[in-house]
């Protein structure tokens, strides 16, 4: 359609233009263009006059049932029935076809509890991976975990004290308590590090041992707790509705590759400063950062370089995405700039997507003090709310509500998480959409085979059909900038539109039953497809 209008402009005025169409209020039409307003100066005519000339030229096109000029010079186009119906079946254009992309869809550290912030990150990562896949890319979901360093030292400090030389004390922690147990161990170690000089010294040594353990007991506890952590992480991430990852990267593996890369690029990229090897990020819009410590130990930044190397060996991606909290934004800017210097041929291959924070309306969240909102608690809250309504609170339903809450705000912004609101199940929530889908399916259950997919439409169908026709462009818009929230907004509007339709137009038993059932099928399929991109299950009943 854009081309049709562009051709018309070319034909009338001999000017090449890019036509951007907008969706006006339904009263004006299905699409609108302001091209006449933009051309007014160039052509030297009144914009309304130009609009009228273009409108006259477009009138003959059979895809348009009506072309009008309104306001200061908008061209409003109403589509013909067949053109509008055709749009409802249009697939999004796969703009990333042929690309290979690696993306981290979760990266909680072992030895710490997984909390709501990790869930947020994992859900965003998984959904962005979905968007990338829908846009045609070959997507590899990976995870990356910090299994070495200071936080390990802090946990090991408390764990070794808890064990008191007896490994079986650790081993006997019941499965259900492990997440909070680890959380507590970390918090205790963290507090000791802050308050007690002797403990601090010991923790530094224990952190060092995460690279090279000195005792058999250390290895036993470290290995077991790491294993527990990954079991927990995998279980929770699956429960959240994430698709499984294909590879787990570890900092302990990335470390020596990274250190090697850094050392090899001194002094070209990295410089020695006070014994450490640093990258002058300040010359690249970031900050100067140490990659290798003065004791020769690799730091987080070196490991991220090593990770890039490992990802390349493993997947040869054209692009590589890392989703993190915004507090790491400047840090990644530096690492990515350094990588661009080290591997100029892969410059800008890695992209960091910074997210906001999850804030709770009630109480604070701090992983340092062990005062965290654990994900299982959140699941329980949702479960209770659903059961009050006598609904079946399966993990899929709960995860749907939770994911939607995270995804409906624009990425990068903070999510203010009001448990009561999230759990309310009314209004713009995942539950509303899931319920809307279940309702539609129940209508179809009552109709045996009397369904014809719509080839025509009546006045009462138009609003819903028009909304359905916006699906494809909404998805394209969403994956262009990797912003899932557009799909949330759209699906909510779609479901509202359907609920209105449903209130006014009886399907089962009506003389238009077959036709209307076809529209219900179209709607249910669209809703399901949109929810699938968000990683939300569309239930048959609930």
| Window 111 to 170, contacts with RNA (CB under 7 A) | 146, 148-151
Exposed e or buried b for every residue in 149-168, given b needs 16+ CB within 10 A?
bbbbbbbbbbbbebbeeeee
Edge-to-edge strand order for the sheet containing 138-145? 247-250, 138-145, 100-106, 319-325, 350-355
Check residue 176 for interaction with RNA (CB under 7 A).
Answer: no
- Least Cβ distance, residue 489 to RNA (angstroms): 5
Nearest-10 Cα torsion for 509, 510, 515, 520? -70
- Least Cβ distance, residue 138 to RNA (angstroms): 26
Considering CB under 7 A, how many residues would be counted as binding RNA?
Answer: 97
Task: Select 171 or 510, whichever has its Cβ closest to RNA.
Answer: 510
**Residue from the set 158, 502, 523, 530 that interacts with RNA by CB under 7 A:** 502
Task: Select 246 or 357, whichever has its Cβ closest to RNA.
Answer: 357
Check residue 37 for interaction with RNA (CB under 7 A).
Answer: yes
Check residue 505 for interaction with RNA (CB under 7 A).
Answer: yes
Sequence-ordered list of residues with C-beta below 8 angstroms from that of 61, at least 6 positions apart, any chain? 4
Select the span of 115-123, 227-235, 236-244, 421-429 touching RNA (CB under 7 A).
421-429
Check residue 109 for interaction with RNA (CB under 7 A).
Answer: yes
Select the span of 3-11, 132-140, 275-283, 368-376 touching RNA (CB under 7 A).
275-283
Task: Select 139 or 417, whichever has its Cβ closest to RNA.
Answer: 417
Check residue 54 for interaction with RNA (CB under 7 A).
Answer: no
* Structure token digits, residue 41: 């100066």
Select the span of 172-180, 372-380, 496-504, 523-531 touching RNA (CB under 7 A).
496-504
* Structure token digits, residue 199: 């403990």
Tell me how crowded residue 389 is: count the other CB atoms within 10 A of its CB: 11
Check residue 38 for interaction with RNA (CB under 7 A).
Answer: yes
Check residue 381 for interaction with RNA (CB under 7 A).
Answer: no
Q: DSSP characters for 298-342?
A: B-HHHHHHHHHHHHHHHH--SEEEEEEEGGGHHHHHHHHHHHHHH
- Least Cβ distance, residue 116 to RNA (angstroms): 14
**Residue from the set 94, 213, 340, 356 that interacts with RNA by CB under 7 A:** 356
Check residue 289 for interaction with RNA (CB under 7 A).
Answer: yes
Task: Select 236 or 301, whichever has its Cβ closest to RNA.
Answer: 301
Task: Select 201 or 389, whichever has its Cβ closest to RNA.
Answer: 389
- Least Cβ distance, residue 47 to RNA (angstroms): 7
Task: Select 318 or 326, whichever has its Cβ closest to RNA.
Answer: 326
| Binders of RNA in range 197-226 (CB under 7 A) | 207
- Least Cβ distance, residue 65 to RNA (angstroms): 16
Whether the bond into 167 is cis, omega within 30 of 0: no
- Least Cβ distance, residue 541 to RNA (angstroms): 3
| Binders of RNA in range 399-418 (CB under 7 A) | 408-410, 412-416, 418
Check residue 449 for interaction with RNA (CB under 7 A).
Answer: no
Edge-to-edge strand order for the sheet containing 31-33? 31-33, 74-79, 64-70
CA distance 105 to 96: 19
CB 219 within 8 A of CB 213: yes
Tell me how crowded residue 9 is: count the other CB atoms within 10 A of its CB: 23
Select the span of 85-93, 227-235, 368-376, 477-485 touching RNA (CB under 7 A).
477-485
Select the span of 122-130, 256-264, 308-316, 422-430 touching RNA (CB under 7 A).
422-430
- What 3-state class would DSSP assign to 540? coil
Check residue 489 for interaction with RNA (CB under 7 A).
Answer: yes
Check residue 327 for interaction with RNA (CB under 7 A).
Answer: yes
Tell me how crowded residue 2 is: count the other CB atoms within 10 A of its CB: 13
| Binders of RNA in range 58-77 (CB under 7 A) | 70-72, 74, 76
Check residue 427 for interaction with RNA (CB under 7 A).
Answer: yes
Q: DSSP characters for 213-252?
A: ---HHHHHHHHHHHHHHHHHHHHHHHHTTPPPPSEEEEHH
**Residue from the set 3, 16, 25, 212 that interacts with RNA by CB under 7 A:** 25
Check residue 435 for interaction with RNA (CB under 7 A).
Answer: yes
Task: Select 83 or 385, whichever has its Cβ closest to RNA.
Answer: 385
Select the span of 37-45, 230-238, 258-266, 365-373 touching RNA (CB under 7 A).
37-45
Check residue 6 for interaction with RNA (CB under 7 A).
Answer: no
Q: Which helix (H) or strand (E) holds 436?
A: helix 430-445
Q: Which residues pair with 278 in a beta bridge?
A: 271, 290
> Could you identify the residue written with the tokens 């224990």?
206
Of 302, 311, 369, residue with least CA distance to 342: 302
CB 13 within 8 A of CB 38: no
Q: Which residues pair with 298 in a beta bridge?
A: 292
| Binders of RNA in range 233-262 (CB under 7 A) | 251
Task: Select 139 or 226, whichever has its Cβ closest to RNA.
Answer: 226
Count CA atoms within 13 Å of residue 251 on its CB side.
23
CA distance 491 to 506: 22
Check residue 270 for interaction with RNA (CB under 7 A).
Answer: no
Check residue 360 for interaction with RNA (CB under 7 A).
Answer: no
């Amino acid at each position: 359609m854009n081309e049709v209008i562009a051709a018309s402009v070319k034909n009338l005025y001999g000017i090449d233009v890019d036509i951007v169409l907008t969706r006006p209020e339904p009263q004006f039409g299905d699409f609108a263009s302001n091209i006449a307003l933009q051309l007014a100066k160039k052509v030297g005519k009144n914009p309304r006059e130009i609009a009228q000339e273009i409108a006259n030229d477009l009138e003959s096109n059979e895809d348009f049932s009506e072309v009008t000029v309104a306001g200061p010079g908008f061209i409003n186009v109403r589509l013909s029935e067949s053109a509008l119906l055709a749009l409802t079946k249009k697939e999004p254009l796969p703009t990333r076809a042929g690309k290979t992309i690696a993306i981290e869809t979760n990266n909680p550290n072992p030895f710490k509890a997984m909390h709501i912030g990790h869930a947020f990150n994992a859900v965003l990562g998984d959904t962005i991976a979905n968007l990338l896949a829908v846009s045609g890319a070959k997507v590899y979901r990976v995870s990356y975990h910090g299994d070495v360093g200071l936080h390990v030292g802090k946990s090991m400090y408390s764990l070794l004290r808890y064990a008191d030389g007896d490994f079986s004390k650790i081993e006997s922690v019941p499965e259900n308590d492990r997440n909070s147990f680890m959380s507590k161990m970390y918090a205790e170690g963290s507090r000791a590090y802050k308050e007690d000089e002797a403990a601090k010294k010991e923790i530094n040594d224990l952190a060092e041992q995460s690279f090279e353990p000195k005792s058999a007991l250390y290895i036993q506890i470290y290995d077991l707790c790491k294993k527990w952590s990954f079991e927990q992480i995998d279980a929770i991430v699956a429960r959240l509705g994430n698709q499984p990852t294909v590879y787990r990267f570890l900092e302990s593996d990335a470390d020596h590759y990274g250190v090697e890369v850094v050392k090899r690029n001194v002094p070209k990229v990295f410089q020695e400063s006070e014994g450490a090897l640093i990258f002058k990020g300040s010359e690249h819009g970031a900050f100067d950062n140490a990659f290798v410590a003065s004791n020769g130990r690799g730091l987080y930044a070196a490991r991220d370089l090593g990770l890039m190397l490992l990802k390349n060996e493993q997947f040869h991606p054209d692009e590589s995405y890392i989703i993190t909290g915004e507090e790491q934004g400047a840090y990644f800017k530096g690492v990515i700039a350094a990588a661009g210097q080290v591997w100029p041929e892969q410059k800008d291959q890695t992209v960091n997507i910074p997210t906001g924070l999850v804030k709770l309306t009630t109480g604070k969240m701090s992983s340092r003090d062990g005062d965290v909102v654990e994900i299982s608690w959140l699941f329980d809250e949702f479960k209770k709310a659903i059961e009050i309504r006598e609904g079946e609170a399966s993990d899929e339903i709960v995860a749907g509500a939770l994911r939607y809450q995270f995804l409906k705000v624009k990425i990068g912004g903070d999510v203010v998480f009001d448990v009561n609101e999230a759990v309310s199940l009314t209004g713009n929530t995942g539950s509303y959409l899931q319920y809307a889908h279940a309702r539609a399916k129940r209508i179809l259950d009552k109709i045996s085979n009397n369904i014809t997919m719509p080839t025509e439409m009546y006045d009462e169908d138009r609003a819903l059909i028009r909304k359905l026709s916006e699906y494809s462009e909404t998805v394209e818009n969403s994956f262009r900038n990797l912003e899932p929230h557009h799909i949330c907004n759209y699906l909510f509007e779609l479901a509202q539109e359907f609920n209105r339709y449903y209130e006014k137009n009886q399907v089962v038993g009506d003389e238009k039953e077959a036709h209307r059932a076809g529209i219900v099928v179209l709607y249910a399929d669209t809703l399901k497809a949109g929810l699938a991109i968000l990683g939300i299950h569309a239930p048959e009943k609930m």
